[in-house]
Amino acid sequence: MIHIPGHVKFLVCVDDSEECKVALKFACMRAKNTEGSVLMLYVIEPQDLMHFAGVENIMETEAFAKANEVLNDLKQQAQAKFGLNVECCIEKGKKYDKIVDLVEEDETISILVLGAAPEGKGSNKLVRRFSVELTSSILIPLTVVPGNLSEEELLKIT
């Protein structure tokens, strides 16, 4: 990792879930307070439709369109609310693998931020996997943000 003193780059894996929106708000608040930056990663996970190539191609096109829509919306919100120009990245593959790959490729990433779904509202599979395998996969801190934090609660911790 290449650390630039006084600059922290937060990586947030996003989708259209509420917990990801809260995690992004947290990262933006921290970036604003530390004069850092934010990189949003949207991962399109593969579908198991190999026998139906035409259908798979249509679904992939739709998935990329949705990813762009989500990223553009979140980027506009970050710009309007926090004055940050957030970087965006779309990858295709398994979320865990793509996050690890990006952290290895971009040595300026300082902290991984993940949103955790409130009890019973999501699988939190990615959070669990990074929590267990963190030191064997990436060598940066992991921040897990509860997806049910309010704006006031976020302000208190950022």
Query: Could you give the CA distance from residue 61 to residue 17 in angstroms, rounded to a whole number?
Result: 20
Domain boundaries, the chain: 9-157
Q: What does pTM read for this prediction?
A: 0.88
User: DSSP secondary structure string, the chain?
Assistant: ---BTTB-EEEEE--SSHHHHHHHHHHHHHHHHHT-EEEEEEEEPPPS-TT-HHHHHHHHHHHHHHHHHHHHHHHHHHHHHH----EEEEEES-HHHHHHHHHHH-TT--EEEEEE--TTS---HHHHHHHHHHHHH--S-EEEEETT--HHHHHHH-
Average pLDDT estimate for 68-92: 95
Res 134: pLDDT:
65
Res 124: pLDDT:
76
Residues 6+ apart with CB under 8 A from 53: none
145 pLDDT exceeds 60?
yes
CATH class of 9-157: alpha beta
Summarised one tens digit per residue, pLDDT across range 25-51 is: 999 999 999 889 999 999 998 876 556
Average pLDDT estimate for 52-72: 86
15 pLDDT exceeds 70?
yes
Decide which of 27 and 54 is more confident. Answer: 27
With cut-offs at 50, 70 and 90, classify the pLDDT of residue 122.
Answer: low
Res 51: pLDDT:
60
Q: Crossing angle of helices 53-82/18-34, nearest 10°?
A: 40
Res 29: pLDDT:
95
Average pLDDT estimate for 40-67: 82
Query: Could you give the CA distance from residue 117 to residue 153 in angstroms, rounded to a whole number?
Result: 16
Query: Could you give the CA distance from residue 84 to residue 76 in angstroms, rounded to a whole number?
Result: 9
Res 64: pLDDT:
94
Distance, CA of 15 to chain centre: 8
